[in-house]
Amino acid sequence: MKMRRIAVCCFALLLTGFLTACTGNVNLAKTPAEGLKTTYQDPELRALSQKYDGLLKEIYARYISKKMGVAKEGLGFTSLTDNRGRKVYYLFVETHHEECNFDKNTTTGQQRLQVVLQKYFEPELRVLTKNDLPSDIGGLAFGVAWAVRDYYQCDQYGGFVEYVIAYMSKSDFYAILDGTKTLSNVLATSEVIASLDQGPPVSIKLTFQK
């Protein structure tokens, strides 16, 4: 069912400007307190955050144990409305770890996006399980963020952040885990938001290049 975005809620992802040059990765959560989104204007999202605080902390610990980072405020909840005006709640998960970074001098935004889709997106998505989406959660908003740097100046820190977020239904997420649908098939019919080359977040149509 076609969904309309009512709350982008990209949380820490809206860091489309430059990070401080050659300092630590300021988008990476170092503790569960940094990883969990706790401030919401929507009281229903705030209630979900409080209700599933333990679940969010467990997801954070799971990613850390697998040496996959979580963005600051990269775990929480967001919502969409369908074409009948019904609100659907989504678990929001956005990963960001040190390995995933690119040289801005030798890559384009589209090239970086394709690398992320083919190398990082599905393995990090599969850290999540069906039990991470309780009965009152209708879908998963999953994203990956990465750093883009000027390797001539500093190849380990700084730069700016790009990201991609896919809003998928619970059934589509389950189908990926079960192997009955491919990631590319699900993303082709999902709402996908991306910010590339320091641009604002926009809805995109994903294609997987071979």
The per-residue pLDDT for range 45-55, each reduced to its tens digit, is: 999 999 999 99
Which structure tokens are listed for 129? 């399980």
Q: Establish how many alpha carbons lie within 13 A of residue 93's alpha carbon, considering only the half-sphere containing its beta carbon.
A: 28
Give the pLDDT band (50/70/90) at residue 97.
confident
pLDDT digits (tens, 9 = 90+) for 161-177: 999 999 999 999 999 99
3-state secondary structure (DSSP) of residue 24: coil
Can you tell me the mean pLDDT for 76-100?
Answer: 89
> What pTM was computed for the model?
0.87
DSSP helix/strand/coil, 89: strand
Pairing of strands 159-169, 18-19: antiparallel
